[in-house]
Amino acid sequence: MDAVYYFAYGSCMSPEDLARDVEEFELIGPALVRGYRLGFTRYSRMRRGGVADLVPDENSVVEGVLYRLPVEQLPALDEREGAPEHYRREHVRVETPDGKVYDDVLTYVVVDKAAEEIPPHADYVQTILRGAEAYLSRPYVEQLRECLRQMAEKKPQGERERPSGKERAAERDRRREATGARRRRRRRVRRRVAIVLRRLVG
């Protein structure tokens, strides 16, 4: 069966998150790519903030997770990454801690990069850190944490995160329940007033 190697550096570093969209894959382990830095150059409505990107930088290194997956899973991976509209396929040279080198490894980079970094949503940050803490080197994880902390501090004061679909649905349910409760209270008041009036008239 034909297979491809795939380098993940964002949310897909977490196998649990990758498995939401890709049914079959093999986790190889930690890896790194040279000549890039980690950036957040695209706003994602689904992720409610900036999402990860590989930005060319000859003096930088990005750590991530290497997978092997059947070529039949590529359409699912493309769809997850929003390729080719939002991300495009890129092939990179990847190294593993034991010295192995993999050429022509698939990864994804943002097509239309924003001029300035876009702070990621807290939920997306936690997904990235879950994979990073499980597989990447401690110095890189600490560097990643500091980078994300600094980006969070740059958010304008009072800026509100865009609610997710579940949050909007829950808010609608709360409003419907509150409206129903008000209507029930008004009906009870009207019934009590009617009873009092009947007693007075009688």
pLDDT of residue 126: 94
Find the range with the poorest average confidence among 8-12, 38-42, 69-73, 151-155: 151-155
Banded pLDDT at 146 (limits 50, 70, 90): very high
Q: How confident is the model at residue 123 (pLDDT cuts 50, 70, 90)?
A: very high
Active-site annotation holds for 79: no
Closest CA to 15 of 130, 123, 93: 130
CATH topology of domain 3-153: Hypothetical upf0131 protein ytfp (3.10.490)
Q: How high is the pLDDT of residue 175?
A: 58
Do 34 and 7 contact (CB within 8 A), yes or no?
no
35: amino acid identity, one letter: G
pLDDT value of position 160: 42
Enumerate the domain spans of the chain. Answer: 3-153, 163-202
Out of 24, 26, 63, 81, the active site residue is: 81
Nearest to 37 by CA among 131, 138, 110: 110
Residue 131: Cβ within 10 Å count? 22
> Which pLDDT score is estimated for 154?
75
C-alpha to C-alpha distance for 100 and 84, rounded to whole angstroms = 30
Question: Are the C-beta atoms of 79 and 22 separated by less than 8 Å?
Answer: no
Q: pTM value?
A: 0.76
What average pLDDT does range 142-162 have in this prediction? Answer: 75
Q: Looking at per-residue confidence, does 191 or 142 come out higher? A: 142
